[in-house]
Amino acid sequence: MKRIISLLLTLCLVITFVPVTWQTAWADSEGSAETIEDYLNNSDLAEAVPVPDSKVVRSGEAVTGEEAGDTTEEEIVDSGDIGDNLTWTLGANGTLTISGTGSTWYDPYQEVNKWKEKATRLVIEEGLTKIDEYAFAGLDNLTEVVLPETLTYIGCGAFSDDYQLELIEFPSGLEFIDVGAFMGCTGLREVVFYGDAPEIRDFAFQGDTLTAYYDDDNDTWFENSGTELDPRQQYGGRICWAVYYADPAIPERMAGANRQETAVAISSAGFRNGADNVVIASGNNYPDALAGGPLAYLLGAPILLVSKNQLDASTIAEIQRLGAKHAYILGGTGAVGENVADEVRGLGLTVERISGSTRFETATAVAKKIDELRGGKPSLAFFVYANNYPDALAISNIAALTASPILYIEGNGNLRDTTKQYMDSCGSIDFSVIIGGPALISTNAENALSRYGGVDRIYGSDRYETCILIDATFRNILTGNSICLACGTNYPDALSGSVLAADLRAPLVLVRGNRLTALQEEYLDWIVPEKVFAFGGTGVLSDEIISNVKYHSLYRN
């Protein structure tokens, strides 16, 4: 039973309902008996945010224009039904998207014939639970499949003879793979299981030669006292069974001699197998850089920091180690000079600069790029104070996991024209979330944002409480077993670390000096993380603060 976090720690919850909008306001108030746990159990915002699957939204390749993975309405060339509650659309770029809930039909051959030569990528959205027999068999040009977390059953021959498939990642909830499901997928080289061992029938991988990876810590993959079949059988193919580890071998502290080298250390830890993309931002000028976390996460890219006019030797070496092909530079030449862009091109990368004439315009330009990569408008947008960085850092890993933009708003609560134009283009969204209290961002913000949908506000008495309340609110998507620490008075390390924190599904906690606040201690007692990772050297994060975190989590519980 998780420990209740009491608002007797000078914290209370005030929920004000107004037409169209609703607000969660955190402030000092006498006489309140509310607790954070009470709030979480009744939070519309927390429950409205779906648990994301990083395998669905992230891309290992640069995706621009017509190469984008998902299709827009204008790009759809054909569509139809594939189940009682399931539809399919085929994009001009070859992406076959399955939407809806439930099971595919038993015999969809009349539909398959429409895809057979055209489908190159299959994206099954959350909601589908069962892929029935031969649903996606014989697709000659299919090279990629994205499966939803809701999937539990893959039927007989479902993907048989899809010989160009090379990798399949099975979601954690998968329970059953039927006979011949991947028979004749002769190009298949790797399959990865993320959950318990499903029941796998004979000949499921007949004719295939591949490596199957499963979690080393998951004992469902071993024979159960001789009463059940070992799920690591061959199943008709030549299968090499290999383990992966639940948590990567990430060092407890990632740090370098300066902010650029710390960013390299984080990249090296989080992208040990390389990355096709890198996001490059200023290490000395935060406004253009802070919106980049969600973009980097979607691109499967680290955030590397640079000075205005040159790349550090360590950054050059890291780009080369990653084997990167594409670079995205955040901000104009006043933040990251053209000399840097030229150096990156000299390393053999293509360069795309995402910028505007102001921080507001750069943030919206990044938001538009995120929409392009995701293939649609956001359901959630975060608004942070334009003239400081802590609240943007506090929300950065959440924004990454939900593929949501981080946008700037003025202290008077008004939207700049460029931000308003972007929001107008989005139409209706589920929530606009203001990070920061009314003393920082006026209550005019609720009025400005209410036209787009629900409005929520999260804040504490300072940046550290605000960060904890964010982490607590979005606990449904912070499902990892670790916690990431960064200095709350310096933006570069937390910015670079936000992508790794999102990858670990870990809360990113901003800390100060060598001590924890009372609310931070309560939060650690509540979530009980098993591992602690720190971004930055002892000059910004002392060994003592790491020890204190361990005491209030690993050791104490």
Nearest to 510 by CA among 544, 462, 556: 462
What was the pLDDT predicted at 27? 32
Taking residue 67's Cβ as centre, other Cβ atoms within 10 Å add up to 10
The Cα 354–Cα 58 span in angstroms is 19
Return the beta strands (E) in 203-333 as ranges: 209-215, 238-244, 253-254, 277-282, 303-306, 326-330
Quote the tokens at residue 317.
């070496």
R_g of the chain, CA atoms, integer Å: 24
What was the pLDDT predicted at 11? 29
CA distances from 40 to 13, 45, 48, 365, 476 (A): 11, 9, 12, 33, 10
329-380 pLDDT, tens digit per residue, is 999 999 999 999 999 999 999 999 999 999 999 999 999 999 998 888 999 9
Evaluate if pTM is beyond 0.75.
Answer: no
Return the beta strands (E) in 112-170 as ranges: 121-124, 128-131, 144-146, 153-154, 167-170
Taking residue 47's Cβ as centre, other Cβ atoms within 10 Å add up to 11
Nearest to 208 by CA among 244, 248, 160, 176: 160
Instruction: Tell me which of 3.80.10.10, 3.60.150.10, 1.25.40.10, 3.40.50.620 is the CATH number of domain 66-244.
Output: 3.80.10.10
Which residue ranges of the chain lie beneath pLDDT 50? 1-34, 39, 51-74, 225
Return the beta strands (E) in 61-198 as ranges: 76-83, 86-91, 95-100, 102-103, 121-124, 128-131, 144-146, 153-154, 167-170, 176-177, 190-193
First to last CA, the chain: 12
Domain residue ranges of the chain, discontinuous segments joined by +:
66-244, 248-555
The Cα 41–Cα 47 span in angstroms is 9
Taking residue 110's Cβ as centre, other Cβ atoms within 10 Å add up to 9
Number of helices followed by number of strands (H, E) in the chain: 17, 28
Contacts of 92 (CB under 8 A, 6+ apart): 66, 71, 75, 76, 77
Contacts of 85 (CB under 8 A, 6+ apart): 100, 101, 102
What was the pLDDT predicted at 487? 92
Quote the tokens at residue 506.
């870990």
Contacts of 227 (CB under 8 A, 6+ apart): none
What was the pLDDT predicted at 398? 94
266-282 pLDDT, tens digit per residue, is 999 999 888 999 999 99
What was the pLDDT predicted at 41? 57
Quote the tokens at residue 341.
């862009």
What was the pLDDT predicted at 36? 54
Nearest to 418 by CA among 466, 473, 364: 364
